[in-house]
Structure 1
Amino acid sequence: MRWNPVNYGEIKEIRVAPDKVWLPDIVLFNNADGNYEVSFMCNVVINHLGDMLWVPPAIYKSSCIIDVEFFPFDEQVCTLVFGSWTYNENEIKLEFEQAEWVDLSEYSPSSIWDVIDAPASLVNKRSRIEFQVRIRYLLLTFVLNVITILVTVIIINVYFRSPTIHRMPKWVRKLFLEWMPFVMCMERPKSISRNMVNQRKGITKLPGLGQFTFNLSSHHPFCPSADDRKESTDVSKCMTEVTQDPTTSMYYPLSADALRAVDAIEYITEHLKQDEEYKMYRDDWKYVAMIIDRLLLYVFFGITAGGTCGILFSAPYVFQGEQLELGIQKFKQRKT
């Protein structure tokens, strides 16, 4: 298809519909999308020498094997194989027009991957073209992701710390339990109160047993009093100091079963005391994690607010709404 431009009004090229000429069925072999057709069938440009140019717009999606040996300091190579779907190497030959690499002048940089190079080569007797796209992972994206995960792990680690393994240092208690709550206007959550036995004016009420009165002064010497927990009690010493008064309980010594019951009650009391201390120290660690989380929330709000204000005050057309209205009015006046 050639012609002399002198005989046709100096017309050197024409544009025809793609269905009027033969088009090679060049597709991406390692396609990951499933759609092998171009998105728009544009016209074909034909010059007077018989050369045809057909550049349809298309988006190609492919898959490649990722080597994670040196991640994140790695460089990946993805191969794109283009060729004819129906013609073999004896029926079609592919050639490079100018350069043997991908033109990256119109490439829009990515925020995750950086394209280093994209050389090409002819394979299978010039019936296919392979593009070796070399990409490199941007470390800034990886660092931001690592910081987010690291902060989350630190907060969870502090929240679930146990006093049996991690003892809270004095500076941590001073900083996070005294100073930081005051600075950030935080109040510690109140602990859940347990159902205690109601005691009022010598009257005790127990579920299922009704009410009864008691006398704190009539305390058996063999049973350690709650008021004397800090003093060591010795049963044999108490027995020698008992006054033989038949009108009081001191006259009647405790039986072996009662003494075993007293020991069991002391063991249960000590266990409950240790359990309360354990929960108290555990709640301290949880409160420290809450303080750190709130502090990071304030830092996030500060960075977000600072960035937003910086963008608003540096944008050239944010505070020019009145000038825009004046321009529209002037345009209407010119039109009328």
Structure 2
Amino acid sequence: MKKTVRILFILVTVFLKVQCNGVHDDEAADVLNHSNLDDSNNSSDPNRNAGEQGDTMGEDEDRLVIDLFREYNFLIRPVRNVSSPPVVVDFGVAMILLINVDEKNQILQTNVWLTMKWNDFQLAWNPAEYGNISNLHVPSDRVWLPDIVLFNNADGNYEVSFKSNVFVDHHGDVTWVPPAMFKSSCRIDVEWFPFDEQCCTLVFGSWTYNSEEVRLHWYNNIQAVQLHDYSYSGIWDVIDVPGQLVHKPDLKENKMVFNVVIRRKTLFYTVILIIPTVLMAFLSVMAFYLPVDSGEKVSLTISLLLALVVFLLLVSKILPPTSNIPLMGKYLLLAFVLNIVAVVGTVVIVNIYFRSALSHKMPTWVRKVFLEFLPHLLVMKRPERIPIFNGYFVEEYCASEIFDASLVMPSMTATMLPFLQVTSNLNKEASSASSGQSSEHHENCSKWKKRLSIRMSRRRAPRARLDDDGEDIVDDSNGNHVDPLQEKISKEMKTTVEAIAYIAEHMKREMSLKKMRDDWKYVAMVLDRLILLIFFGVTLGGTLGIICSAPHVFDFVDQEAIINKLNARYLPSDMYS
């Protein structure tokens, strides 16, 4: 019973469908006859004829769409049977904008237009049967689309940004040009940063179909990324965009690989990173030109060391942590090591500068190397020191110090002259008193005569006695009378001479220590000059050797000229013109 009811239901459905098609055909014939009659009656009205032709075109297009998609299944690959050849999809990529290159995450972000063209035999028609309509624009979800995606996608979004309409012509050729924003993985080589050149790849292929079902081919035989609508980037220059078609029959693999070769614009990094780093590297050399007495040598080197650490951290945040050390990283590391050596060298030089004979004894080889050999080699001339007897000992003085030294340290003769004059005056007075040649005598003249006679009679050791007035009379060993005033002057002179001798000995010792300190200071100056020349040579050589070793340091890139050259090389002549 159920089987009979089902058969009757199928027969009724078929009958109703046939009746509806007949009615629709009759109505279409009536509309067509009516439109022909109206055309013959109203051919004199051009505006009305144009409007009616547009209505007719719309009806033809509507009828064409109904006929094309009546039994069309967009889920089935457009082949007649299983043994048919694979669907050939002409594929091309046009890059519109290079948005960003994320070196840290190694991602290339681009805005591209994909071009896909294939033949669908189910969408072919005769234009004469449909008002000479030769092409259609239909939504992309109504036709079969090849599932071509970007294999090296980095954000997980494999679909295009906008599902645009497809263009279908009467031969069954379907063209689809969807725009897309892709984030593709790109291996960033930072060895020559910031003078680096990167080669990023865009790999396209069918996600589910193998090479025996869908096969890729070059669109218009353009074997590269199209750049005719490319907008220039302010950070990167496009150098080359070749493409490669990979076909592996044994693996049934078919894909297209586009290589985008880009080069970084270096002006920003040259001004912000390279020039300050080079200046700091050469500024660390000037620490050896700074005098030790200024007390700022160690402070200068430490400050430069901290600045280099800041720049090193800045570069490490920009670049990915790869195994290759970037070019700027090498230079910063060189400057960092040189600065550390400069700190150590500065501490050693300061230590040598403040040495003295009380704490260190200068070896003979140090004197020969740093006071004789190296100054001659480094064209350093020490101020000439002239040996002069200053009244107490022989000392070396600079030519400019001789006059000042004579004022500070008078000679022995000048020192003893006042005492010699006093003694000579006393002797003259004594001789004049004894000879009686003077007409005027002192009130104690008789006492002098008496004492003289007593001294002449006594030749033994001097002894003290009292004269008639009760004053002490001192005789020497020969019985000669010694005047108390003269004896007092003699004792003061002896004390003065001993004090002068002590001062002279002390000054001699101080001058000897000063000479030793000056020798150590000169050794420190020679070391400063030697390390200054060595550091300058190493810094200059390292700067030229590291920075100039990059392959594209002095290359100038004219982006417009390169784009025109690439378009002329890869695009057909009709498209390029």
* Higher alpha-carbon Rg: 2
TM-score w.r.t. the length of structure 1 is: 0.45
- Taking structure 2 as the reference length, what is the TM-score of the superposition? 0.27
Bigger proportion of residues as helix: 2
